[in-house]
Structure 1
Amino acid sequence: MRLLFVEDDVEFSEQLSQILKQHYAVDIATDGETAWKWLQLVNYDAVILDVMLPKLNGVELCQRIRDAGQQVRILLLTGQSTIDDRIIGLDSGADDYLIKPVGFQEVLARLRALLRRPPFIASTRLEWGSLQLDLERHQATFAGKTIVLTLKEYLLLKLFLRHGDWVHKHSVILEQLWDLDCDLPSEEAVRAHVKGLRRKLKAVGAGDLIETVYGVGYRLNPAYLTPTRSTHPTVLVVAEQEPAETMKELLEPCGLSIALSIEPAALLKTLDLTQPNLLVLAADATGLNRFALCQVIRRDRRWNWLPIVLMMATTDPEIINQGFAAGADDFVHDPIIPDELTNRVLNRLERVRQLQKRFQTG
């Protein structure tokens, strides 16, 4: 397998690349523009991408990769540990992220988990029922009627459509639509653009397509979806009662159907009953029981495709690596960080939805 490693810290780049080259063929770039040129020439299996890069930063490069329709897996490395920074990285199209300083073995474990997943399936057309956005022609239509948009309205609609099942916070919309090098406007600017977009949607018969989730942000109205599209992806949470209820309260407002179980011993039976799109497993003190459950699922032909997110109280890289080796796709922290939980779960579900759509359209 071939990787592209993009890092401007020469010492760190040399150290990590030596480890990576023991397992993969590795190309190295020290700035975003050079990396973009490599990506246009070589079909990589994965990209390890530092956020703070010269010429073209990691988030901008990630967005450019996804807008170009490239399916490569992307692992972001960032020194910024705030929740909003992580959300921006995932929203830009990254599959996963690690916070520096990072252990080399953890990077390898995350890579193995990424390469087990189906690739990001990109499309040049985004849809929500009768609403369509052509990314090549930069044109929006509803039921065949053209919608003339400003640049910000186009970017706003693209953000909503690319993550149609998400609730989009004002702060994240600001980070996505405005240059990070400039002073960001107030949340009132977001409201003004949403109002303008709603006015244009109303003119073509879709006035309530963008819903307000009061106190949170905006989402697309699931009533506009075609009947063949599931409006409520199911997440099975296997945990003790208190954290399970907390996760239910956090995830249901995002348009998800949450099934709870406090009986991990009956997991396969519960999977058959609930038919989830994603599984969240809370870890016990040692993590061994949950790791064994991951292995059971990966050996089961009916469920070996299921994305698994582990909730773990430890930050010990060795234990986290054991989780990835057992078959987990991702992990979230215990105690729960609300934005991290919702965005990691929604990010995994989006990958599943894109893959299913690809299979359905042949």
Structure 2
Amino acid sequence: MRVLLIEDDRMIGTAVQQALKDAAYAVDWVTDGETAIHAAESETYELALLDLGLPKTDGRDVLRHLRALGRRLPVIIVTARDGIDERIEGLDLGADDYLIKPFAMRELLARMRAVLRREGSGASPVLSNGKLSLDPATREASFAGESAVLTAREFALLQALLARPGTILSRSELEQRIYGWNEEVESNAIEFLIHTIRKKLGAAAIRNVRGVGWMVDRSS
């Protein structure tokens, strides 16, 4: 699941980026409003984390632009601006949630899961196709009587497949959902992750469509 992090504070941005990666999100981090708008126009994201005090273009104007694009992109404002009027303005401009700095990383992750559940973006309490299940809170997967806790990358890959059961995803599509900008991706990274998931859950957990990609069965 890919997240756009819009934060100009290097210390906060580094900490949030690492926490999101550890939680199995692919993260693209930008540090000014103009770059944020360009990223949102050219890439597809499941969620954006938006600071308000940005250089070049203020966060409120970024939010206005995101809403004017006509795409449904959930946005959580993450800012030190804690006035009630500013919170109301942010929500009225179209933000889905508003979190005040400083914050606990666990709370940010919980708010992200809650927003994504409302969007129906594969972050339900337990994601399942009737045979294969995945719990985002614990990263535990179950299939055919086997259960295992997945690594962050394994979880991200299986979550991408379970979000669209019956749909074949190519290597490039899976890479886009798992890795952020400037992350080095080895040529066999996707195959290796699928191998390790199958080793934990069984070979039938993920189906290979030769020459096309991979899928999980439709919900049953």
Q: What is the alpha-carbon distance in structure 2 between the residues aligned to residue 58 and residue 77 of structure 1?
A: 10
For residue 78 of structure 1, report the CA deviation from its aligned partner: 1.5
After superposition, the C-alpha distances for 1:162-217 in whole angstroms (9 at most, x for unaligned) are xxxxxxxxxxxxxxxxxxxxxxxxxxxxxxxxxxxxxxxxxxxxxxxxxxxxxxxx
Q: Does 2:142 correspond to 1:111?
A: no
Q: Which residue of 1 aligns with 2:9?
A: 9
Matching residue's letter, 1:50:
D
Q: Distance in 2 between matches of 1:27 and 1:118?
A: 20
**Which residues in structure 2 correspond to 1:67-106 (within 5 Å)?**
67-106=68-107
Determine helix, strand or coil for the equivalent of 1:48.
strand
In the aligned structure 2, how far is the partner of 1:104 from the partner of 1:32? 23
TM-score of the two chains, using structure 2 as the length reference: 0.53
TM, length-normalised to structure 1? 0.32
Distance 1:54 1:70 in 2: 24
Structure 1 residue 59: Cα displacement: 1.0
Matches within 5 A, 1:1-362: 1-22=1-22, 23-118=24-119
Separation in structure 1 between the aligned mates of residue 21 and residue 15 of structure 2, nearest angstrom: 10
SS in 2 for 1:21: helix
Q: Which runs of 5+ in 1 are unaligned?
A: 120-294, 296-362
Could you list the per-position Cα deviations for residues 236-284 of structure 1 after superposition, in whole angstroms to 9, with x for gaps in the alignment? xxxxxxxxxxxxxxxxxxxxxxxxxxxxxxxxxxxxxxxxxxxxxxxxx
Q: Give 2:52's aligned amino acid.
A: V
Shift of 1:46: 0.1
| Partner amino acid, structure 1, of 2:68 | D
Output the CA distance in 2 between the equivalents of 1:70 and 1:87: 22
Write the distance in 1 (CA, Å) between the matches of 2:107 and 2:72: 23
Shift of 1:57: 1.2
Deviations 1:123-149 (Å, cap 9, x if unpaired)? xxxxxxxxxxxxxxxxxxxxxxxxxxx
Show CA shifts across 1:144-163 (max 9, x none): xxxxxxxxxxxxxxxxxxxx
Aligned-residue offset at 1:68: 1.5
Following superposition, which runs of at least 4 residues in structure 1 exceed 3 angstroms of deviation? none
Distance 1:92 1:10 in 2: 26
- Cα root mean square deviation, aligned: 1.3
Percent identity, please. Answer: 45
Q: 1-side partners of 2:44 and 2:113: how far apart?
A: 18
Structure 1, residues 317-351: CA drift from partner, whole Å, max 9, x if none?
Answer: xxxxxxxxxxxxxxxxxxxxxxxxxxxxxxxxxxx
Counterpart Cα distance in 2 of 1:70 and 1:88: 20
* Equivalent residue pairs, number: 120
State the distance in 1 between where 2:44 and 2:20 align.
Answer: 18
What letter corresponds to residue 34 of structure 1 in structure 2? Answer: T
Deviations 1:78-100 (CA, angstroms, capped at 9, x unpaired) = 21111101011001111001011
Specify the alignment match of 2:206 in structure 1: none
CA distance in 2, matches of 1:79, 1:118: 26
Residue 7 of structure 1 and its aligned partner are, at CA, apart by: 0.4
In structure 2, give the amino acid aligned to 1:77. V
| Alignment-mate amino acid for residue 9 of structure 1 | D
Aligned partner letter, 1:16? V
Tell me which amino acid in the other structure corresponds to 1:90. L
Deviation of the 1:118 alpha carbon: 2.4
Q: Post-superposition shift, 1:17?
A: 0.6
Amino acid at match of 2:11: E
